[in-house]
């Protein structure tokens, strides 16, 4: 599927001239960010569409932008020299208008709290991939990589840890979509102090599109691995987490895990005592990686933390899909930007995934089709709240727009 004329003109304007063309339609796209959950500024940059977001996080107990959301907006403003209104912490109405790619090589985003660095990467990575100026000649040097210094929380509640991006997200998206980036943990940051630092380096892509995703066969589980990261003085606590996780995995007696050894490493680092993380993953014969993780806290024993991580992994294995709940929603924007038809078989569809599909369809022109595999219904509507989205397996297909930077 190719870009429609208006969208293609806007994309060429953004990347070719690095400024909006006066003849291009620049109507502001207004989106209700309380519908499902919010988003949109990344595609606003990529497609050169001004966007107005209303009711940001309005259905949350603490509505409005959190520090990581405000930092993400500021980063996108810097990357695309955008006009930004309402980008402060607590804002529920945001206006964002991109004005062309910033050709600088280095950027900084600092939440000044324990705000999620994982979220900052999720917001900025698609835009960074398409942040190079177009080549002026047929023979050209590869575009220079973009470096982003991110400060905040690496391991926080209600967000996948940075390790998830490195160990699960990165190998899948690099292989499937044909892109490349590096994530280096300079220092870890836990709630509530934060003070973590991560360096993201992205190689922009030029004169080619992202490949379509094809994750429809999970195959057989070939390995279950894990890693506990714990404070230097708490290595025994890490062992208790790992032992509890292995016990739960063994007692689950899943056919998929028969004759599989559980290899859980324990790493000690210079972090605050009592802070720690256990992450588990299952690798399959077709290259899928499925995960489960949990963060230590003062309310739970190490055994409970290890048990929680194992139960999350077991749940993701049982549903039979090719991805876990965190990877599922993070693939949506790449499926929309890729060429041709992407296919993904998943377990229960999360609210984050339904949100992502809603926004990318509204903004980009990509078309998603979702079928529940054990249902006679041909397709399902992502906004149908009467469906039990927490059960079953789904086939998610997308006709992507094939976004490309070219001269």
Residue 291 is part of a domain; what is its CATH number? 3.30.360.20
For residues 211 and 202, what is the distance between their CA atoms, to the nearest angstrom? 17
Please report the pLDDT score of residue 207 as a whole number: 85
Same domain (yes/no): 310, 330 = no
Same domain (yes/no): 20, 76 = yes
Same domain (yes/no): 68, 141 = no
Q: Assess if residue 212 is contained within a domain.
A: no
Please report the pLDDT score of residue 263 as a whole number: 82
Same domain (yes/no): 128, 78 = no
**Of the residues 180, 319, 326, 352, which is catalytic?**
352
Place of tokens 């836990």: 190
Please report the pLDDT score of residue 337 as a whole number: 96
Please report the pLDDT score of residue 259 as a whole number: 75
Same domain (yes/no): 1, 97 = yes
Cβ(221)–Cβ(269) below 8 Å: no
Please report the pLDDT score of residue 101 as a whole number: 87
Residue that finishes a domain, picked among 251, 286, 318: 318
Please report the pLDDT score of residue 327 as a whole number: 97
**Domains of the chain: total:** 4
- Is 326 part of the annotated catalytic residue set? no
Please report the pLDDT score of residue 24 as a whole number: 41
Residue that finishes a domain, picked among 318, 341, 374: 318
Q: What radius of gyration do the chain's Cα atoms show?
A: 21
Please report the pLDDT score of residue 21 as a whole number: 37
The answer to whether the predicted template modeling score (pTM) of the entire model surpasses 0.75 is: yes
Same domain (yes/no): 4, 85 = yes
Find all residues with CB under 8 Å of 309, minimum gap 6, and list them.
226, 241, 245, 278, 279, 280, 292, 293, 294
Using CA atoms, how far residue 115 sits from 36, 121, 351, 356, 370, in Å, is 22, 12, 21, 21, 33
Q: Assess if residue 211 is contained within a domain.
A: no
Same domain (yes/no): 148, 197 = yes
Same domain (yes/no): 88, 110 = no
Same domain (yes/no): 111, 136 = yes
Same domain (yes/no): 331, 295 = no
Please report the pLDDT score of residue 7 as a whole number: 41
Please report the pLDDT score of residue 372 as a whole number: 92
Q: Assess if residue 11 is contained within a domain.
A: yes
Determine the distance from the C-alpha atom of residue 396 to the mean position of all C-alpha atoms in its chain, rounded to a whole number: 17
Domain of residue 1, CATH code: 3.65.10.20
Q: Assess if residue 210 is contained within a domain.
A: no
Same domain (yes/no): 30, 93 = yes
Question: Mean pLDDT of residues grouped by 10 in the chain (407 residues)?
Answer: 40 35 60 64 84 84 86 91 91 90 92 92 93 69 89 90 96 98 94 90 93 97 92 81 94 87 80 80 97 90 96 96 96 96 97 90 92 82 79 95 84
| Host domain of residue 228 | 221-318
Tens of pLDDT along 263-288?
A: 888 887 776 666 789 999 999 999 99
Same domain (yes/no): 314, 371 = no
Please report the pLDDT score of residue 39 as a whole number: 56
Q: Assess if residue 214 is contained within a domain.
A: no
* Residue 142: count of CB within 10 angstroms of its CB: 11
Q: Assess if residue 216 is contained within a domain.
A: no
Residue that finishes a domain, picked among 102, 128, 162: 102
Q: Assess if residue 213 is contained within a domain.
A: no
Q: Which two tokens stand for residue 134?
A: 């177009």
Q: Assess if residue 137 is contained within a domain.
A: yes
Please report the pLDDT score of residue 399 as a whole number: 97
Please report the pLDDT score of residue 332 as a whole number: 96
């Amino acid at each position: 599927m190719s870009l429609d004329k208006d969208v293609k003109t806007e994309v060429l304007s953004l990347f070719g001239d690095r400024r909006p063309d006066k003849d291009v339609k620049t109507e502001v796209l207004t989106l209700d960010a309380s519908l499902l959950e919010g988003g949109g500024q990344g595609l606003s940059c990529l497609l050169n569409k001004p966007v107005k977001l209303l009711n940001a996080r309005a259905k949350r107990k603490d509505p409005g932008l959190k520090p990581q959301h405000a930092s993400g907006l500021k980063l996108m403003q810097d990357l695309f020299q955008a006009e930004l209104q309402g980008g402060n912490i607590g804002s529920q109405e945001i206006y964002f208008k991109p004005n062309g790619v910033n050709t600088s090589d280095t950027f900084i985003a600092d939440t000044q709290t324990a705000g999620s660095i994982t979220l900052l990467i999720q917001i900025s990575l698609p835009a960074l991939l398409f942040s190079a100026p177009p080549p002026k000649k047929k023979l050209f040097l590869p575009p220079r990589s973009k470096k982003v210094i991110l400060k905040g929380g690496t391991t926080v509640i209600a967000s996948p840890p940075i390790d998830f991006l490195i160990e699960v997200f990165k190998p899948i998206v690099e292989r499937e979509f044909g892109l490349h980036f590096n994530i280096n943990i300079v220092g870890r940051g836990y709630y509530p102090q934060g003070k973590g630092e991560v360096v993201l380096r992205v190689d922009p892509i030029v004169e080619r599109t992202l490949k379509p995703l094809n994750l429809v066969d999970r195959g057989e589980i070939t390995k279950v691995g894990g890693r506990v990261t714990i404070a230097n003085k708490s290595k025994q606590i890490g062992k208790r987490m790992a032992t509890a996780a292995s016990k739960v995995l063994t007692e689950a007696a899943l056919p998929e895990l028969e004759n599989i050894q559980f290899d859980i490493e324990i790493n000690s680092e210079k972090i605050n005592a009592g802070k720690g993380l256990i992450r588990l993953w299952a690798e399959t014969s077709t290259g899928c990686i499925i995960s489960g993780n949990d963060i230590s806290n003062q309310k739970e024993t190490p055994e409970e933390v290890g048990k929680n991580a194992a139960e999350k992994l077991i749940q993701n294995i049982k549903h039979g899909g090719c991805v876990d709940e965190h990877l599922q929603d993070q693939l949506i924007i790449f499926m929309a930007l890729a060429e041709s038809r992407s296919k993904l078989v998943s377990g229960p569809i999360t609210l984050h995934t339904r949100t992502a599909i809603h926004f990318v369809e509204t903004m980009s022109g990509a078309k998603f089709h979702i079928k529940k595999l054990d249902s006679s219904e041909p397709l399902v509507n992502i906004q149908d709240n009467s469906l039990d989205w927490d059960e079953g397996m789904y086939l998610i297909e997308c006709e992507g727009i094939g976004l490309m930077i070219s001269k």
